[in-house]
Structure 1
Amino acid sequence: MSPTRLSTVVLDAQDAHELAGFYLRLLGYVVRAEEPDWVLIGPPDGGTGLSFQTEPEYVPPVWPTRRPGEQQMMLHLDIEVDDLDGEVGRAVGLGATLHDHQPQDDVRVLLDPAGHPFCLWRPTQPVG
């Protein structure tokens, strides 16, 4: 067994609890821990979590390219779905925005309410 393991990925936002609420509804996760400026959510049956921390000076990232003086995208979440169009509609209904730039037919790039890019995708061929 490895002496280290990834426990969570942390996303900054103006309001950690608001952004956590979006991902709770999108992913069907549960709250595992919370503090006034931090929330940890994760799958109900265990596994790697997703955390959010309030950063008052948070600036949304820019994607697909960095423009001078704007926050560069550092990471994005890939979320596998069975029904791409249906899940895009559901995500938009929860507060996401469909990005103007869509580079692939089997992937949709969206922005969460804090402006973080994330991708909904469906496999075009069996994975594994």
Structure 2
Amino acid sequence: MTNRWIGMTIDCVDVARVAGFWGALLDLPQLPSRPGWVYLGRTGGPQPRLNFQPVTEPKHGKVRLHLDVGVEDIDQGIAQVILLGGRFTGERHDYDEGVVVVMADPEEHEFCLVQHY
């Protein structure tokens, strides 16, 4: 038996807003979903599916698991996230193999933009 990663579920208060942000950032289609939920991408597709689950309480504290999003140009990636309603946290790490910046989506879920050299 082989296990594989098929998706990730993100809790959010405003499901449509957060799913819209991620759908635009990753160019993933919205698919039929359970009432109140939004699914991006297909089960068995080329990328794991993202599921957005409605919750009543906002996020508190730093997330312990986050997405890394590969970009060709870090400055353009930052600008795109901000244009879509996310924000740059101010945290940047420059390494020999590339650069990583910590971003946040519209409900403050942290994630990294990664540009490899």
With normalisation by structure 1, the TM-score equals 0.78
1:31-110 alignment runs, 5 A limit: 31-42=30-41, 46-47=45-46, 48-62=48-62, 73-102=63-92, 104-105=93-94, 106-110=99-103
Whole-angstrom CA distance in 1 between matches of 2:29 and 2:77: 19
Residues 45-89 of structure 1: per-residue CA shift (max 9 Å, x gap): 923111110100232433xxxxxxxxxx22111001111111110
Root mean square deviation of aligned Cα: 1.8
2:85, 2:60 → 1: CA distance? 15
Q: Which runs of 4+ in 1 moved over 4 A?
A: none
**CA distance in structure 2 between the aligned counterparts of 1:61 and 1:111, rounded to whole angstroms:** 12
Structure 1: tracts of 5 or more residues without a match: 63-72
1:5–1:32 Cα change, 3 Å: farther
Matched AA of 1:96: G
- Matches of 1:60 and 1:36 in 2, distance apart? 25
- Amino acid aligned to 2:87: T
Identity of aligned residues (%): 32
Task: Please state which structure has a larger fraction of its residues in strand.
Answer: 2
Return the alpha-carbon distance in structure 2 between the equivalents of residues 86 and 60 of structure 1. 29
Higher relative contact order (CA 8 A, sep 6+): 2
Aligned length: 111
Unaligned runs of 5+ residues in structure 2 are none
One-letter amino acid matched to 2:24? R
CA–CA distance in 1 between the matches of 2:16 and 2:34? Answer: 9
CA distance in 1, matches of 2:79, 2:65: 23
TM-score by length of 2: 0.84
